[in-house]
Copies of this chain bind each other. A is one copy, B any other.
Amino acid sequence: MNTQRTIWPHPQKASAVQVIDQRFLPHQLVVMDLHTVAQVYEAIQKMVVRGAPLIGATAAYGVFFACQEAAQAPEPEAHFAQSLAHLRESRPTAVNLFWAIDQQVKNLENAVSWPEKATLAWQGAARIVEEDVAICRQIGLHGLPLLEKIAAQKPGAPVQVLTHCNAGRLGCIEWGTATAPLYLAHQNGLPLHVWVDETRPRNQGASLTAWELQQAGIPHTVIVDNTGGHLMQHRQVDICIVGTDRTTRTGDVANKIGTYLKALAAYDNQVPFYVALPSTTIDWQISEGLREIPIETRSADEVRYITGWDESTQALHTVRLTPPQSPALNYGFDVTPARLITGLITERGLCPASEAGLLQLYPEQALASVND
């Protein structure tokens, strides 16, 4: 079973795809078949798949299934519209979900028959997948020299990287964003060691990033989120690379809660702090991250309860961590101001975390500002 990607055409069944059921990671590698709209809805809604690019790609295949199902329905047009509306509700705040569905709808505009639409939708989904792979690989190629430069300064010793959350291939299709330079460096034989923040409360680091790196054979160590500052004080981190959910025009970055604390520690200890991002995460309309980026509040039960692997029953098991009467609060993200960020790694290259820096790489956005 090739699980190099997170979504792929089913090797036996013609009109189906397979995904890794990420709910069981890092404890079990479970592969799920998707061949109906209902299954795609469930996979997105129940977080079988997660991460903006992967949600988008999965939804794009959902549009393909919607074409197939419409073809069998008494009122194909109505059925199709209903399917898309349903898919849109699977994760109501996932921008890539809407984007991918819209792309696909545009893509089908000129097709007449439902079989023709289905063919175009399948091709369109594959294109969305390949585009993400290419963008992540470009991020990797642009980030790689940062690691090579550090390696040259400490021959024989591993380059020590710290990352937070999972900006890895599991949220994308392949390569990931913050992890892309790591995978390329490892392929090139660069000695590496990655400090993996566990990333409470959902533990994406301890479960997903650790699993990814383990699968790839990249040396790594899981640490609690409290540890990074101490490591940086003692020069055990050469570079931090993290992802981002949303980036302002001026280079402020909203990423998983706790990113700001690591950026502060990096700044205090002169450790370079980089953010890897596809330019699709840049919101060119906003320039003050702390004021303008709304921060999602998630369920307090993600703090109060934790799910792990019960070694005695060989199954996932949930336990409570807090007193039953103690409330908890769960912000999903925080904002790291551009002043703490050494640079951004985009698919077009590196730049300083500033409006001038970003506009040098994306000059077409200068006009957007003037037009506002």
Tell me, rounded to whole Å, the shortest Cβ–Cβ distance linking A329 to chain B: 5
* CB atoms of B198 and A327 under 8 A apart: no
Question: In the complex, which of the residues B201, B220, B228, B229 contacts A224, with contact meaning CB atoms closer than 8 Å?
Answer: B201
Interface SS of A by simple majority: mixed
| Closest B residue by C-beta to A264 | B264
Residues on the B chain within 8 Å of A206, using CB? 303, 321-322, 326
Q: How many chain copies does the complex carry?
A: 2
Tell me, rounded to whole Å, the shortest Cβ–Cβ distance linking A244 to chain B: 15
Kindly state whether residue A223 has any CB partner on chain B within 8 Å.
Answer: yes
Residues on the B chain within 8 Å of A23, using CB? none
A268/B264 contact (C-beta < 8 A), A321-B206, A325-B214 known: yes
The proximity string for A residues 287-308 relative to B, scoring 1 for CB distances below 8 Å and 0 otherwise, is: 0001000010000000111111
Question: In the complex, which of the residues B214, B257, B264, B305 contacts A265, with contact meaning CB atoms closer than 8 Å?
Answer: B264
* CB atoms of A224 and B222 under 8 A apart: no
Give the CA-CA distance A359 to B224 in the complex, in Å: 36
Question: In the complex, which of the residues B229, B257, B321, B325 contacts A260, with contact meaning CB atoms closer than 8 Å?
Answer: B229
Question: In the complex, which of the residues B200, B224, B268 contacts A330, with contact meaning CB atoms closer than 8 Å?
Answer: B224
Kindly state whether residue A348 has any CB partner on chain B within 8 Å.
Answer: no
Residues on the B chain within 8 Å of A26, using CB? 322-323, 326
Residues on the B chain within 8 Å of A213, using CB? 326
The proximity string for A residues 256-283 relative to B, scoring 1 for CB distances below 8 Å and 0 otherwise, is: 1110111011001000000000000000
Which 9 pairs between the two chains have the least Cβ-Cβ distance? Answer: A226-B258, A308-B319, A26-B323, A230-B334, A200-B224, A264-B264, A210-B326, A222-B328, A229-B260
Instruction: Give the interface of A toward B (CB within 8 A).
Output: 26-27, 196, 198-201, 203, 206-207, 210-211, 213-214, 220-230, 233-234, 256-258, 260-262, 264-265, 268, 290, 295, 303-311, 317, 319-323, 325-331, 333-335
